[in-house]
Structure 1
């Protein structure tokens, strides 16, 4: 028996097991194939970008490690992304960019960068058959004054960053227009105070007014939509974060935009999965940043842990995927950077597959009838059902390596490509 035959045989047995519970694995595989996953480009180069790549990260950001092979040019970064994408199953993928990843023909500052500086990326995305998402870069720049950007009391500082925000919208609109896939344009800013402020209202009023000015021009939603990412606190702004979760949730609600939930931006004891159903009863939609907060916002590579399983279950069981954009957000330079993308993406897909492989309607009916015994018994039994066999079949059908065999591809890529960069 060949390895492929063994995989198919294991899948057929798993299919029968799930069918006993009323779960059609073929329907699940088709549904998983429709899950769009946005891969963040900054894992590949430790958030250096191409505008001023020698600038050290600051404003609450840091990347640990010095694993060899960091991408230093657009060609290197897109080559690494191409290799990672080839090892992640499923046809629907996007790549998330930041303003600092512009490919310019001359030196430009952040507020000068526009759609013309992302033609390289659009051409590449067309070749790869992927969409693009956008993030305005509001950090690691001399115009971050006293930990403030859009909420700064200095109008000149605000005006600079307002232009950066406006330009990011034009870039995102360009992505959507050229690629035919809506580009989510995510906003995160590092504004806040290290120690206790006297005035908590005025900075948020300035932030609201700045964001409103950025949104002044109406752009086609088919091309792009904005999302707003809050944070509990950050390094250097431990006592007060202007862009808090409450601020951005309310802003997204009142402006009919998306609220971004980053799994690492909440208190360690908070369960972010519990927030989806509450917000989406009222909100237009979510942008989800899948990360792993080992010690709060530490941005570890995503693994198939309990937090990720709960995130996937909540979105699947409440049928909220249609209103949710799923993206990765982490950076780890202690391991092979391309492998990090693959590990995180495949873990995320596995979590959603596991969530889909459940008799959800039957479980909801049991819950409605207060049959908590059945609910608990079935959910416990599902934990040891053969989800791995279904995952292997999914990988096989999408022509990506099954199991850990993808590591051989990464090792070869490291030996023949990454090792030659240093």
Structure 2
């Protein structure tokens, strides 16, 4: 243990303990929190099934930074490097297009065997896997509709794909001993104002009912449904709106996924957590950073992230909330993007845990809003960074920006050698 890190930590502990905050216990709790790290940051959402297929469904990745992963082996190596710089043991989130197989197989024909290399790798790494059907970037999604498509044959294709995805998720959970969350998001919607908003939602509801008809052990797989406000090509109407999925999820006991970038540009999701927690058995978060539209920027330590962390901690929701990341930026080093976003998400949770929550709640209950405001403001400058540095050092990962030199070395030794090859 570095002496400066240990010394700063001990001084910080004294300040926090004056308010009854047990820092050592908090760090032990932090170790148990798993962030689901999205694989698609590493290769710009290309996947391996259909490498020549253009991105669709309102998804766009900008930038041409060298070194994007082009094979499953490269992507797993990049994920290993990123995880070596992030404190804690976490999960990796896969999309269906990341199947690792030599077979020519379409989405509706996918089986667990097509992901066996990912399962074997996850066992070695000691991590869990989450999963997502890929309802975009496919010939059968070209017109912007999948599970709500008016053509029964196309709709059935996507239903079968989602059924297959649930079975793959269950296999992940059974093999790895960590419950897999399989999340369904579809791009369905209209660019301009529709006449009939009801019929597509009726078709979507029927499709979901068929997908979820097969009972799967919840210890192996949990289902989630993800809403969206708008996207490129669906600016006027999205079939799977927040209201639709909130109703469906509550009625059918599914996780409701809240993506930080899927609401109005000035609308935060932190305040929604306590409301949904009253009516659901669990939540799924996709932590992202919107800018102007659902552009999925790398997560930074902004006000919204801090508020999400506070809501999870203050309301004791970490035990029922699955936290995943969803951003992709090809304008910067992709491994650095993973590290920045994941470390910030963990930092936000730590920062929230280092606040005097019970004291603040008691002051609020007694109507002492002066104390509430004063303490909330003063704790903004408390030395949580010293605690974070100690946690990183204890977990064997670089302290502060020291991780960046590791990424730069990897870029020179590995990533740049891919460029132009």
- Indicate if the aligned counterparts of 2:224 and 2:254 stay in contact, CA closer than 8 A: yes
* Distance in 1 (alpha carbons) for counterparts of 2:115 and 2:355: 42
Extract structure 1 runs of 4+ deviating beyond 2 A.
none
Q: CA deviation at 1:216?
A: 1.1
1:37 is matched with which residue? Answer: 35
- Indicate if the aligned counterparts of 1:74 and 1:103 stay in contact, CA closer than 8 A: yes
| Unaligned stretches of 5+ residues in structure 1 | none
Mapped pair 1:191 → 2:188: yes
- Indicate if the aligned counterparts of 1:312 and 1:351 stay in contact, CA closer than 8 A: yes
2:128 is matched with which residue? Answer: 131
Mapped pair 1:68 → 2:66: yes
| TM-score, normalising length: structure 2 | 0.98
* Distance in 2 (alpha carbons) for counterparts of 1:34 and 1:373: 35
* Distance in 2 (alpha carbons) for counterparts of 1:54 and 1:332: 20
Corresponding pairs, count = 419
1:376 is matched with which residue? Answer: 373
- Indicate if the aligned counterparts of 2:165 and 2:182 stay in contact, CA closer than 8 A: yes
Q: CA deviation at 1:145?
A: 4.7
Q: Which of 104, 108, 111 in structure 1 is aligned with 2:108?
A: 111
Give per-residue Cα distances to partners, 1:70-108, cap 9 Å, x unaligned: 0000100000000000000013x0000000000113111
- Indicate if the aligned counterparts of 2:225 and 2:249 stay in contact, CA closer than 8 A: yes
* Distance in 2 (alpha carbons) for counterparts of 1:157 and 1:73: 29
* Distance in 1 (alpha carbons) for counterparts of 2:359 and 2:390: 25
Q: Which of 74, 77, 83 in structure 1 is aligned with 2:75?
A: 77
More displaced stretch, 145-154 vs 228-237: 145-154
Give per-residue Cα distances to partners, 1:16-62, cap 9 Å, x unaligned: 01011111111111111111110000000000000011222112000
Mapped pair 1:88 → 2:86: yes
2:22 is matched with which residue? Answer: 24
1:52 is matched with which residue? Answer: 50
- Indicate if the aligned counterparts of 1:145 and 1:157 stay in contact, CA closer than 8 A: no
More displaced stretch, 102-111 vs 7-16: 102-111
* Distance in 1 (alpha carbons) for counterparts of 2:223 and 2:417: 39
1:418 is matched with which residue? Answer: 415
| TM-score, normalising length: structure 1 | 0.98
* Distance in 1 (alpha carbons) for counterparts of 2:143 and 2:51: 22
2:228 is matched with which residue? Answer: 231
SS of equivalent residue, structure 1 residue 208? helix
| Unaligned stretches of 5+ residues in structure 2 | none
SS of equivalent residue, structure 2 residue 92? strand
* Distance in 1 (alpha carbons) for counterparts of 2:329 and 2:52: 18
- Indicate if the aligned counterparts of 1:262 and 1:289 stay in contact, CA closer than 8 A: yes
SS of equivalent residue, structure 1 residue 417? helix
- Indicate if the aligned counterparts of 1:230 and 1:265 stay in contact, CA closer than 8 A: yes
* Distance in 1 (alpha carbons) for counterparts of 2:136 and 2:80: 27
SS of equivalent residue, structure 1 residue 298? strand
1:259 is matched with which residue? Answer: 256
- Indicate if the aligned counterparts of 2:56 and 2:142 stay in contact, CA closer than 8 A: no
TM-align CA RMSD: 0.8
1:279 is matched with which residue? Answer: 276
SS of equivalent residue, structure 2 residue 193? coil
Q: CA deviation at 1:146?
A: 2.2
SS of equivalent residue, structure 1 residue 297? strand
Structure 1 residues 160-309: aligned runs within 5 Å: 160-309=157-306
Mark the CA change 1:145 to 1:339 in structure 2 (over 3 Å): closer, same or farther: closer
SS of equivalent residue, structure 2 residue 296? coil
Q: CA deviation at 1:332?
A: 0.2
- Indicate if the aligned counterparts of 2:231 and 2:293 stay in contact, CA closer than 8 A: no
SS of equivalent residue, structure 1 residue 299? strand
SS of equivalent residue, structure 2 residue 396? coil
Q: CA deviation at 1:382?
A: 0.2
SS of equivalent residue, structure 2 residue 157? helix
Give per-residue Cα distances to partners, 1:215-263, cap 9 Å, x unaligned: 1110000000110000001111111100000101111101111000000
1:355 is matched with which residue? Answer: 352
Q: CA deviation at 1:127?
A: 0.5
